[in-house]
Structures are given as structure tokens and as C-alpha cells.
């Protein structure tokens, strides 16, 4: 984009070719890269949203001023009143000094984004996309989803008076499908994978003129997700944590975390970036496994953590660039480690997270077991969804006692001794 031609407060820059666009020109992908590489794995042409950081920095804004304005200077909206009435973001964070009876040598902070309106981190992206669509006059928004993004968009659209069309793999978890239907969205079960539902949603966007929310397709989803970094910075006393553990599927959430901290860095509000640790299931490791490979190899996902089960991580290129540029880390954990982490988390903190979210905590436990967390370091675990989203995944680990008669003798037999000792 030529200098002086800019019509908006922000621009898009292709992470591949570096070409810049005014948002009045382009809605989704870089026209050049996406046209020339339509069959590439992973997809090319993903756009990054940039602001005039130099001008904002010259204004001398401090973080308090930025927060009081609801970060409007670094969000792609004309009016913050375009956002939904539902309370999205500003989710609670908790420091825990110990797990069980063991005191921790490092600081552990859980960010519980399962407390968003539809119990998912995805509400951050849906809120910004919905608000932008509202400002641009779009009445219908479409998304492909394994569940969370779909239920999120459905709920946010219901609060905004917008229509939502959600395309889901037919095997998506019932709880998430139930949410979509209850919010009044048009649900479209697709015989196939998430990637096939994704492609159908793109065709529908082109055919019907809908606005598309898909992650790693609509660049504004990352702008919504980056707000978690602003909140973490504020909740940690305007300090950057040493590590942030993030579950990874498409690579959009980890990119959003990076983008938020990068915005703060470019504004001169911090002088460093955190180490972001991307955590994938061994059963769906297409992002982690390909980070340093010259040729991208797809392996079908088999993890029970459905929200991070992705064959083609559509934001791979941006996530890889962030991880390499800021010396991030990427690891895999087993499905059993994820289920164990979910149980440890729930029993020691009272936070019930779905498997896809608990993967981030499994990553921290992996680092702890391998002595990779320095004493007194601050480590954040981003929990992206409520455990009520996917009860089926934890069903096998639940042990329900048989019913007893209403008498004290049978109760004594049922209870463990430590509960009956005065």
C-alpha cells in the first residue's frame, strides 16, 4: 500500500510477502498469496493487523490510559459501543502458591477464560468480529468450528441481533452443539473433518455475501484474542510474565497472545516479551512437529481434545514466525497427561477446564517435572474453556459410587476412613 493512501487507523500486512493493504481493499487473506497458493499446506496469505505505533508512542500513552479507553487505540473498531453488551474478557486470574500439599518454588497464575459468556476464550474473537460486522452493515456471520468458536459466535450474535451460521463436523461434542442451537444459530453438521467444514464456510461466504469469522482467515480474530495479553499485563502489576503456557490447535490463540504482548512492546510499555510455550497433544501435533521442517507434513489428528485437533493448522506460518522471532517453546503431551492435568487442576484449584484447555497445564507440569521453571519465575497457564464443554472426554475417569441406603452404617462403609475420623 502506497504511503499517503491509508484510509483507516490500521492496515493489514501479509505475513508471507509483506504487502500491505487498507482494510477497505481486503477483508480476509492477501489476494496475491492466497490466489497463488490455494492448495498449499499450510495456507498462505494470512494478514497481520498493524497500527501506527510510532504516533501512539509519541503521544506518551501509559498503560492506565490505554486500559481506561478499553484499548481502542489498538483495536480495529470505530466505536467501542459496537461491542456486545455481554461481558467479554476481564476474566479472573488466580495465583496459587502450592498444588496439593506441595509448595511451589515458582509463581503460578491461572487465567480462567472459561468465565467468558459462552465459557470459552473464543468470545474475545467473536466480540470483535461481531462489532466490526455491525459497523460494516453485515447481518449474517458464518464460521466453521469444532464447537467453541461456533457456540461463541452463536451466543455473541444472539446478543447483537445478528444471524449466525455455524458449520460443524458431525462428531463435535454434544454440549457445544447444544449451545449453538439454544442461541438460535443455524447449525450445519458436515460429514467430514473441521477442515472440510472450513472450506464449505468459505464457499458459502463467497456465494451468499456473509461475513466470515473463521480463525486464520479473518485477521480480526487475532485482534480479539490478543486482549488477553493486555489483561495479563494488568493483572500481573504491569509486568510481563516469564512464561505463558498456551494450548495450540490452529495456531491462532498463541498468535493472539504474542500479538498482544508485541503491541505493548511496540508502544514502549514494556521492554521484553514473555516466553510463550505452545502445547499440543501428541495425537494432533501438526504445528509443533513442523516448526523446523522444510516440507510441511500433515498427520491426521487423533486426540480426544477436540478443540485442538487440527489436521492443517491454518495459522501455522504466523505462529511459527512468532515462536522463532521471540524464542518461544513448543512441546507435546499425551492425552493421558491432559486428562491427568485436568483432574489435578480441578482438585487443587476448583477450576474445571475442558481437555483442550488443560493441555496448557499439562505443559506446565511437563516443564515442572523436567526442572525447566526457574525459582521465583512467574508462569501463566491460559485456560481457554470450561470443562462443562466436553464431559464425554472425562467420562472414563469418573468413578461414581453405588447408591446406599439412608443409614449411617452404610455411609461408614462407603466413606474413606480419613473422613470418619474425628
Between CA 290 and CA 57, with CA 122 as vertex, the angle to 5 degrees is 85
**pLDDT score recorded for residue 422:** 75
Any idea which of 155-159, 377-381, 387-391 has the lowest mean pLDDT? 387-391
> Predicted confidence band at 40 (pLDDT cuts at 50, 70, 90)?
low
DSSP letter for each residue of 80-119: GGGS-SS--S---EEEEEEETTEEEEEEEEEEEGGGSTTS
**pLDDT score recorded for residue 196:** 87
Helix H or strand E segment including 56: helix 53-58
CB contact at 8 A, 83 and 125 = no
Q: Do the bridges between strand 93-99 and strand 102-112 make them parallel or antiparallel, or are there none, so unpaired? A: antiparallel
Helix H or strand E segment including 144: strand 140-144
Summary mean pLDDT of the chain: 92
CB contact at 8 A, 244 and 382 = yes
Any idea which of 35-44, 134-143, 348-357 has the lowest mean pLDDT? 35-44
DSSP designation for 267: T
> Predicted confidence band at 107 (pLDDT cuts at 50, 70, 90)?
very high
Q: Mind listing the pLDDT tens digit for each residue in 351-388?
A: 999 999 999 999 999 999 999 999 999 999 999 999 88
Q: Mind listing the pLDDT tens digit for each residue in 173-220?
A: 777 788 899 999 999 999 988 788 889 999 999 999 999 999 889 999
pLDDT at 276 over 60: yes
pLDDT at 301 over 90: no
**pLDDT score recorded for residue 418:** 82
Percent of the chain with pLDDT over 70: 96
Q: Mind listing the pLDDT tens digit for each residue in 59-82?
A: 998 999 999 999 999 999 999 999
- Kindly report the backbone phi and psi dihedral angles of residue 318, in degrees, each rounded to the nearest multiple of 5, phi listed first: -70, -45
Any idea which of 26-40, 160-174, 240-254, 313-327 has the lowest mean pLDDT? 26-40
Q: Which residue pairs, CB below 8 angstroms and at least 24 apart, start in 370-376?
A: 373/105, 373/106, 373/243, 374/106, 374/242, 375/105, 375/106, 376/105, 376/106, 376/107
Any idea which of 217-226, 241-250, 396-405 has the lowest mean pLDDT? 396-405
> Predicted confidence band at 3 (pLDDT cuts at 50, 70, 90)?
very low
pTM: 0.93
> Predicted confidence band at 26 (pLDDT cuts at 50, 70, 90)?
very high
- What is the arithmetic mean of pLDDT over 43-49? 93
**pLDDT score recorded for residue 88:** 97
**pLDDT score recorded for residue 205:** 96
> How many Cβ atoms from other residues are within 10 Å of residue 371's Cβ?
8
Amino acid at each position: 500500500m502506497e504511503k499517503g493512501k491509508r484510509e483507516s487507523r490500521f492496515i493489514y500486512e501479509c505475513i508471507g510477502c509483506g504487502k500491505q493493504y487498507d482494510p477497505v481493499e481486503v477483508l480476509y487473506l492477501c489476494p496475491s498469496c492466497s490466489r497463488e497458493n490455494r492448495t498449499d499446506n499450510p495456507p498462505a496469505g494470512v494478514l497481520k493487523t498493524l497500527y501506527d505505533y510510532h504516533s501512539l508512542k509519541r503521544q506518551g500513552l501509559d498503560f492506565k490510559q490505554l486500559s481506561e479507553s478499553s484499548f481502542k487505540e489498538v483495536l480495529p473498531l470505530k466505536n467501542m459501543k459496537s461491542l456486545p453488551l455481554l461481558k467479554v474478557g476481564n476474566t479472573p486470574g488466580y495465583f496459587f502458591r502450592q498444588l496439593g500439599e506441595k509448595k511451589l518454588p515458582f509463581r503460578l497464575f491461572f487465567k480462567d477464560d472459561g468465565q467468558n459468556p459462552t465459557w470459552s476464550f473464543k468470545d474475545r474473537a467473536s466480540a470483535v468480529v461481531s462489532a466490526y460486522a455491525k459497523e460494516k452493515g453485515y447481518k449474517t456471520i458464518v464460521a466453521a468450528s469444532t464447537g467453541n468458536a461456533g457456540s461463541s459466535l452463536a451466543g455473541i450474535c444472539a446478543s447483537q441481533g445478528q444471524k449466525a451460521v455455524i458449520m460443524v463436523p458431525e462428531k463435535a461434542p454434544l454440549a457445544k452443539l447444544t449451545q449453538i442451537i439454544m442461541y438460535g444459530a443455524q447449525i450445519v453438521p458436515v460429514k467430514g473433518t473441521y477442515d472440510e467444514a472450513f472450506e464449505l464456510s468459505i464457499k458459502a461466504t463467497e456465494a451468499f455475501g456473509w461475513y466470515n469469522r473463521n480463525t486464520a482467515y479473518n485477521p480480526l480474530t487475532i485482534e480479539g484474542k490478543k486482549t488477553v495479553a493486555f489483561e495479563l499485563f494488568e493483572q500481573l502489576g504491569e509486568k510481563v510474565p516469564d512464561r505463558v503456557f498456551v494450548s495450540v490447535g490452529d495456531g491462532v490463540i498463541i498468535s493472539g497472545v504474542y500479538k498482544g504482548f508485541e503491541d505493548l512492546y511496540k508502544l514502549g510499555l514494556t521492554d521484553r516479551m514473555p516466553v510463550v510455550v505452545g502445547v499440543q497433544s501428541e495425537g494432533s501435533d501438526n504445528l509443533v512437529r513442523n516448526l523446523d521442517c522444510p516440507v510441511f507434513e500433515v498427520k491426521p489428528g487423533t486426540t480426544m481434545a477436540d478443540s485442538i485437533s487440527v489436521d492443517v493448522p491454518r495459522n501455522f506460518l504466523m505462529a511459527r514466525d512468532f515462536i522463532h522471532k521471540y524464542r518461544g517453546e513448543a512441546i507435546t503431551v499425551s492425552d493421558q497427561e491432559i486428562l491427568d492435568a485436568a483432574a489435578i487442576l480441578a482438585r487443587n484449584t476448583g477450576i474445571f477446564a475442558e481437555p483442550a484447555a488443560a493441555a496448557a497445564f499439562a505443559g506446565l507440569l511437563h516443564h515442572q517435572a523436567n526442572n525447566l521453571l526457574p525459582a521465583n519465575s512467574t508462569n501463566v497457564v491460559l485456560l481457554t474453556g470450561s470443562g462443562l464443554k466436553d464431559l464425554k472426554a472425562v467420562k472414563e475417569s469418573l468413578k461414581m459410587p453405588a447408591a446406599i441406603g439412608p443409614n449411617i452404617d452404610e455411609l461408614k462403609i462407603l466413606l474413606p476412613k480419613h473422613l470418619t475420623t474425628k
